[in-house]
């Protein structure tokens, strides 16, 4: 009687443990809305009759990269590819060559292939609502990398991993305030902006203007969109020098590639970059640090492109069902002539 009573108590409990225990320990367990078993591939197919011997398939991540405009971008792509390999994550990589339309196509392709997750480095901030809705309806989580998206419903992406571009602009502005502390002014500045509508361009501009705006001696003579490329940096700086000549005392460039192009134009014009004109840039590529060591760039605000390991960690955590913070900011520094000399040899990009 006692034994029967005990059995009646334990039997349902054991059944519960078996049912729920099996589910949470399943190797293919995925967060809510992630249809991991549906990805159309041979190995590890969920149709496999004996799950205990079926190989566990890797997580599949679709990544839409915005382009190849700069050394920063190429380092970023390499970092994502290497980190995926290291983490055993299968990466479907698409380069959109600066076209938002191509990013939409890539995302639709990832949805068709039923990938586990999608990551996007968005070329511009606006226009993402509809495509992110499509991914959400397909139950595929989206991680935003590097640049932000300006959307109405923030639940359409899981997290944004990347730099604080506004803070980068503020750091550039603070450097200039210190550097020109003893100058009565006026101080003539030209600004080479990146891609129109992109987060780094918008926020680096705002951060810089908000900071130098505290003092009326600073005058931004011209502000031009230059698409983050070396070639356009040279071209635009040439024409700015033709127009404004030695009125330009400071160049603020939103990235290193444009600054390096502009330096060529400044030297062609017969001025000494870093001496006759203060050069402030953003990124911290090896080529820019080399120029700093030569005294041709005065300040570089770091923007870290090595986001691959952070991205893969986020992917793994998400697939394990964990919750991520809405914003993951990468720590960054400011290089001056002294620190550049120490860092230049360690720079991989």
Binding segment toward ligand AHR, per CB under 6 A, in 66-74, 210-218, 268-276, 321-329? 66-74
269 contributes a contact to ligand AHR by CB under 6 A? no
Task: Decide: is 73 part of the binding site for ligand AHR (CB under 6 A).
Answer: yes
Q: How far apart are CA 216 and CA 180, in angstroms?
A: 12
CB of 175 to ligand AHR, least distance (A): 17
Nearer to ligand AHR, 61 or 301 (CB): 301
For ligand AHR, which residue of 187, 303, 311, 344 counts as binding (CB under 6 A)? 303
> 229 with 69: CB under 8 angstroms?
yes
Give the residue from 301, 292, 293 showing the smallest Cα distance to 175. Answer: 301
Peptide bond into 134 cis (omega under 30): no
Interface with ligand AHR includes 77 (CB under 6 A)? Answer: no
What are 304's strand-pairing partners?
Answer: none
Paired strand residues for 90: 60
255 binds ligand AHR (CB under 6 A): yes
Shortest reach from residue 197's CB to ligand AHR, in Å? 12
Report if residue 230 touches ligand AHR, rule: CB under 6 A.
no
Candidate residues 146, 191, 203, 343; the one interacting with ligand AHR per rule CB under 6 A: 146
Choice from 57, 114, 147, 232 touching ligand AHR (CB under 6 A): 147
Show contacts of 91-95: CB within 8 Å, 24+ apart: 91/61, 91/63, 92/60, 92/61, 92/62, 92/63, 93/63, 93/65, 94/62, 94/63, 94/64, 94/65, 95/65, 95/67, 95/68
In the complex, the smallest distance separating the C-beta of residue 239 from ligand AHR, rounded to whole angstroms, is 22
Cα(233)–Cα(328) distance, rounded to whole angstroms? 31
- Contact footprint for ligand AHR (CB under 6 A): 69-70, 72-73, 146-147, 200, 228, 255, 282-283, 303
């Amino acid at each position: 009687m006692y034994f029967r009573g005990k059995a009646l108590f334990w039997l349902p409990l054991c059944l519960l443990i078996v049912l729920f225990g099996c589910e949470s320990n399943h190797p293919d367990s995925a967060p809510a809305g992630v249809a991991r078993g549906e990805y159309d591939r041979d190995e590890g197919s969920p149709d496999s009759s004996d799950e205990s011997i079926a190989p566990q398939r890797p997580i599949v991540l679709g990544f839409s990269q915005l382009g190849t405009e700069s050394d920063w971008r190429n380092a970023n792509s390499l970092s994502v590819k290497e980190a995926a390999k290291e983490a055993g994550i299968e990466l479907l990589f698409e380069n959109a060559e600066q076209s938002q339309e191509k990013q939409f196509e890539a995302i639709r392709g990832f949805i068709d292939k039923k990938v586990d997750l999608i990551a996007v480095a968005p070329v511009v901030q606006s226009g993402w609502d509809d495509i992110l809705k499509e991914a959400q309806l397909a139950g595929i989580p989206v991680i935003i990398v590097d640049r932000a998206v300006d959307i109405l419903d923030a639940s359409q992406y899981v997290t944004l991993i990347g730099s604080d571009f506004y803070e980068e602009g503020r750091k550039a502005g603070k450097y200039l305030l210190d550097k020109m502390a003893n100058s009565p002014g006026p101080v003539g500045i030209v600004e080479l902006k990146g891609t129109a509508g992109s987060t780094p361009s918008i926020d680096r501009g705002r951060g810089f203007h908000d900071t130098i705006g505290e003092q009326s001696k600073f005058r931004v003579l011209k502000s031009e969109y230059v698409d983050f490329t070396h070639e356009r940096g040279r071209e635009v700086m040439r024409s700015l020098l033709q127009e404004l000549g030695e009125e330009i005392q400071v160049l603020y460039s939103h990235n290193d590639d444009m600054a390096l192009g502009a330096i060529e134009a400044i030297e062609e014009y017969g001025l000494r970059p870093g001496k006759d004109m203060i050069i402030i840039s953003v990124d911290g590529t090896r080529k820019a640090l080399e120029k700093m060591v030569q005294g041709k760039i005065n300040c570089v605000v770091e923007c870290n492109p090595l986001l691959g390991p952070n991205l893969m960690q986020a992917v793994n955590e998400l697939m394990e069902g964990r919750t991520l913070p809405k914003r993951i900011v990468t720590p960054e520094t400011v290089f001056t002539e002294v620190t550049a000399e120490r860092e230049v040899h360690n720079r991989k990009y």
